[in-house]
Structure 1
Amino acid sequence: MEKEMPDNIAFSEEQGYNASLLPYASNVGAPVIKMDDLVSWKSRGISTVNKEFENKFNELKMQYQNLMNEYEWNELVYNAKFSFEPVIGEIYHLYRGDDGINFLSLISPQEWNKEHIGTFKLNSDKKWIVLNQKDSVFQ
């Protein structure tokens, strides 16, 4: 049985000479086609992206914890007893009274012998900024 075409020619009955359409080399002089190592590329990419997500998650978690801490301090100060209107930019001190009720005062802890909870400053957004705090208040 004799072949009509030699082995090194890409020809099919349906498409004719289709060497330029084939996904592989059909000529002896064509360059070698090597498959890229996609598994290692994917694993490096996944590792890099997961590290980035983990860092962003930890950053957001830290921001959330700081926000909750600010919220708890503001809640504590706003629920304290005081009989004056606080002035923005002024420094105030939060104390626990003998009756267990928290109260806000202008008197510093060095001038008074009361249980000092924290020192705060009221900012222009009416948010209390912690300047000095007792560590074990929220545990």
Structure 2
Amino acid sequence: MKNKIPDNVVFNEEEGYNASMLAYPTNVGAPVIKIDNILDWKSVGIRKVNKEFESKFNELKAEYEKLMQEYEWNEIIYNSKYSFEPIIGETYHLYQSNDGTHFLSLIDPSQWNKEYIGSFNLNSDKKWIQINSKKDNF
């Protein structure tokens, strides 16, 4: 029977006593190895990421709503009545007639008594840009 080495001694046949070279504790008196509690780290990370996603989502949602409002105004103006070719950069005023149809005019709202909807500029992309309006959504 060979000399039996106690369990609390690190011994290897090839390397001998190599406890000082190991990356982990090898004797009974060594500090306890504790596994890090990563649940807290994960939950903080999840909250942070979710907050960032929510912020980005709200930003995209606001941008989408703005785009849809611009689309609706452009649809209303392009479907309204006007008998002139609009000039890029000019201010035009949108009105509603008594029969409920819309028409575009150069006449300022202060100069006559028609139901004023809003004022718009035509940009170089042929998109109507809202300057101001009586109603936010029509």
TM-score, structure 2 as length reference: 0.84
Deviation by residue 1:56-102 (Cα, 9 ceiling, x = unmatched): 11000000000001100111111101111100000000001122210
- CA distance in 1 between partners of 2:18 and 2:52 (Å): 46
- CA distance in 1 between partners of 2:17 and 2:83 (Å): 96
Maintained 8 Å contact 1:91/1:119: yes
Q: Which amino acid aligns with 2:39?
A: V
Aligned to 1:63: 63
Counterparts of 1:1-139 in structure 2, within 5 Å, are 4-10=4-10, 25-28=25-28, 30-135=30-135, 137-138=137-138
- CA distance in 1 between partners of 2:90 and 2:5 (Å): 97
Q: CA deviation at 1:27?
A: 2.6
Q: How many residues get paired?
A: 136
- CA distance in 1 between partners of 2:17 and 2:119 (Å): 86
Structure 1 residues 72 and 97, CA, compared in 2 at 3 Å: closer, same or farther? Answer: same
Q: Which amino acid aligns with 1:34?
A: K
Q: Which amino acid aligns with 2:67?
A: L
Runs of 5+ consecutive residues of structure 2 not aligned to the other structure: none
Over aligned residue pairs, what C-alpha RMSD do you find? 2.7
Maintained 8 Å contact 1:117/1:137: no
Q: Which amino acid aligns with 1:119?
A: S
Runs of 5+ consecutive residues of structure 1 not aligned to the other structure: none
Maintained 8 Å contact 2:120/2:130: yes
TM-score, structure 1 as length reference: 0.83
Maintained 8 Å contact 1:10/1:19: yes
Q: CA deviation at 1:7?
A: 1.9
Report % sequence identity. Answer: 65
